[in-house]
Amino acid sequence: MVHLPNDDDQCGWYHALPKVPARPSLVGEQTADYLILGAGFAGLAMARRVATHKPNSRIKLIDAQRVGQGASGRNSGFVIDLPHKFALEHPDPEHKQKLLALNRSAIAQLDQLVNQYSIDCQWSAKGKYQGAVGARGEAYLDHFEHLMKELGEPYYHVDNKELSEVLGTPYYRRAIYTPGSYLVQPAALVRGLSESLPDNVSVLENSPIRHLTKENGQWVLYGHEGVIKSPVLLLGTSIFTREFGYLKNRLLPVMTFASWTRPLTDDEMRKYGGELDWGLTPADHAATTMRMTADRRIMVRNSYKHTPKYGRSISHAMKAKIRNDHRQAFLLRYPALEDVPFTHTWGGVYAISRNFTNFFGQLDEGLYASACDNGVGVAWGTISGTLLADHAVGATSNQLDDIKYVTGMPSLNPPEPFLGIGVKSRIQLAKWQSRSEL
């Protein structure tokens, strides 16, 4: 690999977890009957499902970092049932209904696992708000309402007064509430899922893979201190899939950023005056996402960057500016909490495609991948990983037919330097257009 994962060490979700000993790393020469690369939501679902199908097989799940440190543990903690905003505009009603059913199947699967294994991850069926600050946001809300009517899904109008009582701020004009989403502490869920894997799954951490090749019918992965071989390889590597030469020039690496406070004190909670455990996404997708966690932390997420070298694309100065932007958004909403500091600011990289298409399927003999979640990773990673495992072992189902129906090939990107210039310009334009909603 040319560019390895290089996430910062300031993810608040991960820092809030109790420390646990690291699992073994890839050392020496190892083998497996099935090998899964990437221990995020997709890879964890792959490992669990393959182990269910093949209880007597040796399955190994390998990650470049500690489980929970990567992108799956860095999102805003929404498990969203509705298709992505762009997918909601798809002209084929059947496409949208299949996406919705797949996402809800993932939520049901995660709900069952959280309860079965008592995973402590702030899992809650709270739904989500989509909020508008001004006229631009309200126009987006009107469009969203139209799409909900087309889809036949329930939604509820929330006016300024009712919304203020929930959020503890009158900053938003109004919102639309949809009941099907869940909220979660994502790093805790990732860790809990990894700790509850079947006994025939072994997890290797801190084991970045620099190269893979096919030799004598075996996929061979080379790490810093070891080599691992398997006849079947499943990639849950999202944007990093392109580093192995697959889906090259079809995936765009984008990083989003979040900051959060320490837990509010009792006195600060009185000043805040809102509820615990809610999530709000912006009606204008380039604006600000907000969370109040179950343990009293307020989180702000905005700012998007094109990151061709992932974490190495982000300088200290850039991160400091992003943190300042988050602070301004926080103070606009909660001026009475100006003395409450941010404790962590972090970024997380994910893959999008220009045609907003997810890849799912076989790349080569014995090689399978699910890549490009287009920013809706928890539910999509879970269901796509589950069904990719079915595909790899030769199982069939209506759901497998459905996911093949809604996925395809991400479109080709323009060559550099035009790609970088275009993506950066588009992000800057979206930020300028959305400035009233930030």
> What Rg value do the Cα atoms of the chain yield, rounded?
21
20 and 67 housed in the same domain = yes
- Give the number of domains in the chain: 2
Looking at residue 429, what is its pLDDT? 79
The predicted-structure confidence for 406-427, as pLDDT tens digits, reads as follows: 999 999 998 787 788 888 887 7
- Bridge pairing between strands 218-223 and 209-215: antiparallel
CB 44 within 8 A of CB 197: yes
Q: What was the pLDDT predicted at 375?
A: 64
Q: Is the per-residue pLDDT at 328 higher than 90?
A: yes
Is the distance from CB of 19 to CB of 82 less than 8 angstroms?
A: no
* Predicted local confidence at residue 365, as pLDDT: 97
Instruction: Mark whether 200 and 343 lie in a shared domain.
Output: no
Segment 142-163 mean pLDDT? 96
CATH code, domain with 270:
3.30.9.10
Phi/psi at 148 (5° precision): -65, -40
Q: Is 263 found in the same domain as 166?
A: yes
Q: For residues 79-103, give the mean pLDDT.
A: 91
pLDDT of residue 420: 80
Plot region of 374 (φ>0 → left; ψ -120 to 50 → alpha; else → beta): left
45 found inside a domain: yes
Average pLDDT score, the chain: 94
Report the pLDDT value the prediction gives residue 61, as an integer from 0 to 100: 98
Would you state the structure tokens that stand for residue 202, as one six-digit string? 């072994």
> Cis omega (within 30 of 0) on the bond before 282?
no
Q: Is the pTM of this model over 0.75?
A: yes
The answer to whether residues 264 and 241 belong to one domain is no
What pLDDT does 372 receive? 86
- Return d(Cα 181, Cα 146) in angstroms, integer: 19
Judging by DSSP bridges, how do beta strands 128-132 and 289-292 pair with one another? unpaired
In a domain, 434, yes or no: no
pLDDT beyond 90 at 121: yes
Is the same domain home to 402 and 343?
Answer: no
Q: 7: Cβ–Cβ under 8 A, 6 or more apart, which residues?
A: 65, 69, 70, 71, 74, 310, 311, 346, 347, 348, 349
Structural domain includes residue 83 = no
Answer yes or no: do 224 and 256 share one domain.
no
Strand partners, 256: 304, 348
Q: How confident is the model at residue 22 (pLDDT cuts 50, 70, 90)?
A: very high
- The domain of 124 spans 107-183+252-354
Model confidence pLDDT, tens digit, residues 51-63: 999 999 999 999 9
In a domain, residue 85? The reply is no
268, 127: one domain: yes
Q: How far apart are the first and last CA of the chain?
A: 37
User: What average pLDDT does range 392-402 have in this prediction?
Assistant: 97
Separation between Cα atoms, residue 1 and residue 211, nearest integer Å: 5
pLDDT at position 286, please?
87
Contact by Cβ (8 Å): 1, 244? yes
Residue 305 vs residues 244, 252, 255, 318, 349: alpha-carbon distances, Å = 23, 11, 5, 10, 9
Q: Token pair of 159, please?
A: 């006016």
| 207 and 257 both lie in a single domain | no
Reported as a single tens digit per residue, the pLDDT across 261-309 is: 999 999 999 999 999 999 999 999 889 999 999 999 999 999 889 898 9
Contact 13, 77 (CB under 8 A): yes
Contact 347, 8 (CB under 8 A): yes
Q: How far is CA 135 from the centre of its chain?
A: 29
Q: Quick one: tokens of 252? A: 């765009």
pLDDT band at 1 (very low <50, low <70, confident <90, very high): low
Asked whether residue 341 falls in the same domain as residue 323, the answer is: yes
For tokens 């050392």, the residue is 27
Q: Which pLDDT belongs to residue 87?
A: 87
- pLDDT for the residue numbered 54: 98
| 276 domain residue, yes or no | yes
What CATH number is attached to the domain comprising 244?
3.50.50.60
pLDDT at 374: 67
Residue 98 lies in a domain: no
Residue 1 included in any domain: no
Query: In this predicted structure, which of 35-39, 247-251, 385-389 has the lowest mean pLDDT?
Result: 247-251
Give burial (CB, 10 Å; 0-12/13-18/19+) of 249.
middle
Residues 182, 172: Cα–Cα separation, whole Å = 22
Same domain for 175 and 274, yes or no, is yes
Q: Which of 296, 325, 354 is the last residue of a domain?
A: 354
pLDDT tens-place string over residues 364-390: 999 999 998 766 789 999 999 999 999
Distances (CA, A) of 370 to 62, 177, 360, 379, 433: 16, 30, 5, 13, 33
pLDDT of residue 338: 97
Name 309's Cβ contacts closer than 8 Å, sequence gap at least 6: 3, 6
The H-assigned helical ranges of 74-159 are 85-88, 93-116, 135-151
pLDDT at 205 over 70: yes
The CA-based angle 340-345-350, given to 5 degrees, is: 145
pLDDT in tens, 250-268: 999 999 999 999 999 999 9
Is 300 domain-assigned?
yes
Predicted confidence at residue 425, as pLDDT, reads 84
Q: For position 51, what pLDDT does the model report? A: 98
Whether residues 159 and 205 share a domain: the answer is no
34 and 53 part of one domain: yes
SS3 breakdown of the chain: % helix, strand, coil, rounded to 5? Answer: 40, 25, 35
Name the domain boundary from 339, 354, 369: 354
How far apart, in whole angstroms, are the C-alpha atoms of residue 284 and residue 279?
Answer: 15
